[in-house]
Amino acid sequence: MMTSADRIARVRLSSLYLPLDTPVSDAKVLTGRQRPMTEIAFLFAEIRSEQGHEGIGFGYSKRAGGPGQYAHAREIAGEMVGEDPNDIARIWDKLVWAGASVGRGGLATQAIAALDIALWDMKAKRAGLPLTKLLGAHRDSVRCYNTSGGFLHTPIEQVLENATAALERGIGGVKIKVGQPDTRADLARVDAVREHLGDAVPLMVDANQQWDRATAHRMGRALEEHALTWIEEPLDAYDHAGHAALATALDTPVATGEMLTGVTEHAELIRAGGADIVQPDAPRVGGITPFLRVAGLAEHGHLQLAPHFAMEIHVHLAAAYRTEPWVEHFEWLEPLFNERLEIRDGRMLVPERPGLGITMSERAAAWIAERYST
């Protein structure tokens, strides 16, 4: 086996909690399945090699799971020390097997995500390239749409103002949340936004898994007149057959995949024909290494790609996808970093800085609850 002179010398983990300005509610809150979200838990990994190369990565969890991700990462991070940081795939397998007794998916692999992403960041920095250039870019910018302005706790008048502000900022599309117990309220909300935006602006809706099959079909047919870019998570994330039937029945594309936590789960979704648009999330599937496998499956299936959340990571991964993708714009994470992504003419520009192009801000450091170094 070929080796390099460099080795991983240190891994530092940070558990931090990002407070949200306003409690956030989607359909899962209105149906009583979850409480409003007031903070997001983050797991940051900072890796340094013997030759002084550094990489940073992060994962996250909403409402629950943050302490578990941090605890599991702390248990397995020492397995990386002494390894060649360029052997990312082999390190990923080593970390998975180090914690295999609790599974090779879900929280166990989500804890690996920050470590894996940090390795890719280091590798790109070492090459002096933005991550997408290291992967093999197809474009230097990606279509983007805003989600954060359209949650269900937000009055419709404010949703309309938020949509206008997003477009004025240069964002290319708008997504709003639906899935309320009263479907008439959903239809009225979509009607208002479409009328406000006009027919030319891309508009998406997201039911956050809260419809049953019959409701999804009825709502899908009722929404056809609005020429939506997609309907997201109309059904339970694991109802692949239901999603497939809906995708066949509707002209509007069906998007899903953000809640799936591994390559195998995405493979089952794609095999079932359950999505026109696949929405993998690198931190949720275990990092960039498994994300690239999911993207390969999606490309093989001639599917569109629209990664979920974490635009700071996904702008790079989307820019490396063969066909034109979308990236989701959330400004929530901006306080964590010193840098800002540039948006222009409906597109998010890939940073020209090496690696992911992000560094943790002093403000983020103040939110750290625990820290561990190997």
Specify binding-site residues. 26-28, 62-63, 175, 206, 208, 232, 258, 328
SS3 (DSSP) at 65: coil
Q: Which residues are annotated as a binding site for Mg(2+)?
A: 206, 232, 258
Contact 259, 284 (CB under 8 A): yes
Reference 110, options 268, 309, 328, 305; nearest CA is: 309
Instruction: List residues with catalytic annotation.
Output: 177, 308
| Cα–Cα dist 241/263, whole Å | 18
Contact 368, 141 (CB under 8 A): no
| Cα–Cα dist 366/340, whole Å | 19
48 strand-pairing partners: 10, 54
Contact 308, 279 (CB under 8 A): yes
Spatial strand order of the sheet with 368-373 comes to 54-62, 37-49, 8-24, 368-373
How many other β-carbons are positioned within 10 Å of the β-carbon of residue 143? 20
Q: Which residues contact 334 (CB under 8 A, 6 or more apart)?
A: 340
How many other β-carbons are positioned within 10 Å of the β-carbon of residue 104? 16
Contact 34, 88 (CB under 8 A): no
